[in-house]
A = this chain, B = another copy of it.
Amino acid sequence: MTRLLHQPDPQLDLVLERIVDVPQELVWKAWTTPEHLKPWFTPAPWKTIDCEIDLGPGGIFRTVMRSPEGQEFPNLGCYLEIVKNEKLVWTNALLPGYRPAPPPAAEVAACGLFLFTAILLFEQHQKGTKYTALVIHKDEAGQKQHEEMGFHEGWGKALDQLVAYMKQH
């Protein structure tokens, strides 16, 4: 069973909650299959050009994003909890295999790398799926940085892309 261990903390967490008209199983597929993740994961004109998924506790979740100018940004995460169709948890605070991740170098941090855990909840809903993305940060600075980078717009636009893409697949 899924369980949510804490209420979101407005100082530390960011939440995107929306009803989407795509079945739960397709939202799951979009998040857990590289082939179906790459087309929607990064708000255009950014692209996700690579993705590696080992869908088990401790498994790798790696993506590479490319900016419109051609700069590449790798992201490396570790899956924590997988409840098929319902809940997916991953973090960049641990490397794959659970090793604590090195703290980001100052110059990397300036490019927006910071530590967080993403808790994704997908619930059946009469209109399709209730989609909740809860992103929990180490501290207020991380939350603020993520918010100012455009969390709500970015994750929201990516979700629009997910919906549009999965309706065709």
Residues of A within 8 A of B (CB): 3, 5-6, 12, 56-59, 80-81, 89, 91, 93-94, 96-103, 115-117, 119, 136-139, 142
CB < 8 Å neighbour of A98 from B89, B98, B100: B89
Q: Give me 10 A-to-B residue pairs in the complex whose CB atoms sit less than 8 angstroms apart, sorted by A's number.
A: A5-B98, A12-B99, A80-B98, A89-B98, A94-B94, A98-B119, A98-B136, A100-B136, A102-B138, A102-B139
CB < 8 Å neighbour of A58 from B5, B97, B142: B5
* In the complex, chain B residues whose CB is within 8 Å of the CB of A116: 100
A80-B99 in contact given A94-B91, A94-B94 (Cβ < 8 Å): no
Query: What CA separation (Å) do A151 and B99 show in the bound complex?
Result: 18
Q: Which residue of B lies closest to A3 (CB)?
A: B56
Q: Which residue of B lies closest to A54 (CB)?
A: B5
A117-B136 in contact given A58-B5, A103-B103 (Cβ < 8 Å): no
B98 contacts A115, C-beta separation under 8 Å: no
Q: Which of A80, A98, A115, A136 is the most central at the interface, judged by chain B CB atoms within 10 Å of its CB?
A: A98
List of 6 A-B pairs having minimum Cβ-Cβ separation, nearest first: A93-B100, A100-B115, A100-B138, A5-B97, A98-B117, A6-B97
* In the complex, chain B residues whose CB is within 8 Å of the CB of A89: 57-58, 98
Query: What CA separation (Å) do A96 and B117 show in the bound complex?
Result: 12
B96 contacts A100, C-beta separation under 8 Å: no
A91 contacts B100, C-beta separation under 8 Å: yes
CB < 8 Å neighbour of A100 from B5, B59, B102, B137: B137
